Amino acid sequence: MKTLHFLFFVVALVCTTTTLSQELTKKAIAIPDIPGYHVLKCDFHMHTVFSDGQVWPTQRIEEAWQDGLDAIAITDHIEYRPHKEFVKGDHNAAYTIALDKSKKMGITLIHGCEITRKMPPGHLNALFISDANPLAIDSFRLAVEEVKKQGGILFWNHPGWVNQQPDGIAKWLDEHTWIYNTGILKGLEIVNEQTYYPEVHQWCVDKNITMLGNSDIHLPTSMYYNRAEGNHRTITLVFAKENSTEAIKDAIIDGRTVVWNGTTLYGKEKYLNELFKSAVVCKNDTITATPKEWLQTEICNNSDLTFTMQIAKKVEGYNFPESFALKPGETMLFSFRNAGTTPDTGKEITAVYNVMNMFPAPGKTLQTELKFNIVTKGK
């Protein structure tokens, strides 16, 4: 009888363990939409066993779902396939294998690949292509022209990668001008994995090329990132009309992106500002506290982003905090001093802050305003 009990226990344990090991859980990324656009969380650069990655293509879909992403591109190297003796299949295989799972899990899968050349021109990701096989040709110029013929676009990956730029500084060469002049170089990776390239960020500003940041993950994502612990892979936030291949393509061509790396955000001033204003809500009144010369209100951060604030301008009559942080999902009691003894009821006051972790250009932080209406309450 004891043996039977024990056996039952073992069977129950095995069943429970099996069930648990099959469970996938998602940690969504909370970022409110901005006026006119959804905010899509996207990673346009990753690898599978069909090049030098270590996972099967469907796992990239499951990982994207777990990480709360909306869209990904699997971008295996065309020219570098170290497992090809054991992993057969053409250059479309990873996309074809992952497509069905992507539809079932609600992840938009963009057909892509990585054109992998020595510098110049370095590595280029092709997105929105219909067939990766014709890109397996010697001439990179013919490969680029093929991407154009298929209606695809290109972005330049890790332009300052130390393996190709020993000093770690990206250089814009004649070959890049040639690609740019084809009209399909629509993006530059200003962040690849965890590496930020300020010079590439500046090119995006100067040449009006879209800013992108991607994981370029080769191993399982769980070996690098744990969303449940608050860290995340580098992604591109895309401001799109809907979650579809066409809408994402339109957004990239139109420059509607912000790169999210760690707690830092890079993007056009307009989109950084809209992201901030959608995420951060000031309670629309200011309540007098005790003693009367202290005012306070609530500032709510409705997102998983962090905003590090530093005062940009002094406002006469009010002593705003010099610096503070708006942490993910937190509401902060924002207290400041009124220089006079009676607050101006009904008056709107504006505090001007620099968001020290939002960068429209290298070294330039976003300046934004917090507005409060004074409503006197309490004593």
**β-strands 323-326, 318-319: how paired?**
unpaired
* 66 contacts Zn ion (rule: CB under 5 A): no
Name the one range near Zn ion by CB under 5 A: 65-73, 83-91, 106-114, 363-371: 106-114
* 306 contacts Zn ion (rule: CB under 5 A): no
Least distance (Å) from Zn ion to the CB of residue 47?
A: 6
* 48 contacts Zn ion (rule: CB under 5 A): no
Cβ nearer to Zn ion, comparing 44 with 128? 44
Least distance (Å) from Zn ion to the CB of residue 144?
A: 16
* 192 contacts Zn ion (rule: CB under 5 A): no
Least distance (Å) from Zn ion to the CB of residue 158?
A: 6
Name the one range near Zn ion by CB under 5 A: 7-15, 110-118, 173-181, 222-230: 110-118
Count the residues of the shown chain that bind Zn ion, applying the rule CB under 5 A.
4
Query: Residues 53, 46: contact at Cβ < 8 Å?
Result: yes
Q: Please give the structure tokens belonging to residue 285.
A: 């009144």
Least distance (Å) from Zn ion to the CB of residue 264?
A: 21
Three-state SS sequence of 31-97: CCCECCEEEEEEECCECCCCCCCCCCHHHHHHHHHHCCCCEEEECCECCCCCCCCCCCCCCCHHHHH
Cβ nearer to Zn ion, comparing 157 with 365? 157
Name the one range near Zn ion by CB under 5 A: 113-121, 137-145, 291-299, 325-333: 113-121
Cβ nearer to Zn ion, comparing 62 with 216? 216
> C-alpha angle with apex 98: 57 to 74, nearest 5 degrees?
60
Question: What is the per-residue binding string for Zn ion in 116-135, x denoting contact by CB under 5 A?
Answer: -------x------------
Least distance (Å) from Zn ion to the CB of residue 127?
A: 13
Cβ nearer to Zn ion, comparing 123 with 256? 123
Query: Residues 209, 183: contact at Cβ < 8 Å?
Result: no
Query: Residues 158, 216: contact at Cβ < 8 Å?
Result: yes
Alpha-helix runs per DSSP H in the chain: 2-22, 57-66, 93-105, 140-149, 174-181, 198-207, 245-253, 269-279
Restricted to residues 213-252, the positions that interact with Zn ion (CB under 5 A) are 216
Least distance (Å) from Zn ion to the CB of residue 48?
A: 11
**Residue sitting closest to Zn ion (CB):** 123
Least distance (Å) from Zn ion to the CB of residue 147?
A: 16
Query: Residues 328, 32: contact at Cβ < 8 Å?
Result: no
> C-alpha angle with apex 170: 139 to 176, nearest 5 degrees?
35
| Residue 347, φ and ψ in degrees, nearest 5 | -85, 140
* 157 contacts Zn ion (rule: CB under 5 A): yes
| Residue 14, φ and ψ in degrees, nearest 5 | -60, -45
Kindly tell me the burial class for residue 378, based on how many C-beta atoms sit within 10 Å of its own C-beta (0-12, 13-18, 19 or more): exposed
Query: Residues 287, 296: contact at Cβ < 8 Å?
Result: yes
* 43 contacts Zn ion (rule: CB under 5 A): no
Least distance (Å) from Zn ion to the CB of residue 78?
A: 11
Name the one range near Zn ion by CB under 5 A: 96-104, 149-157, 230-238, 258-266: 149-157
Cβ nearer to Zn ion, comparing 114 with 274? 114
Residues in Cβ contact with 255 at an 8 Å cutoff, skipping those fewer than 6 apart: 208, 209, 210, 211, 268
| Residue 238, φ and ψ in degrees, nearest 5 | -115, 130
Residue type, 185: L
* 268 contacts Zn ion (rule: CB under 5 A): no
Least distance (Å) from Zn ion to the CB of residue 142?
A: 20
Question: What is the per-residue binding string for Zn ion in 1-40, x denoting contact by CB under 5 A?
Answer: ----------------------------------------
Cβ nearer to Zn ion, comparing 216 with 274? 216
Give the binding site for Zn ion (CB under 5 A). 114, 123, 157, 216
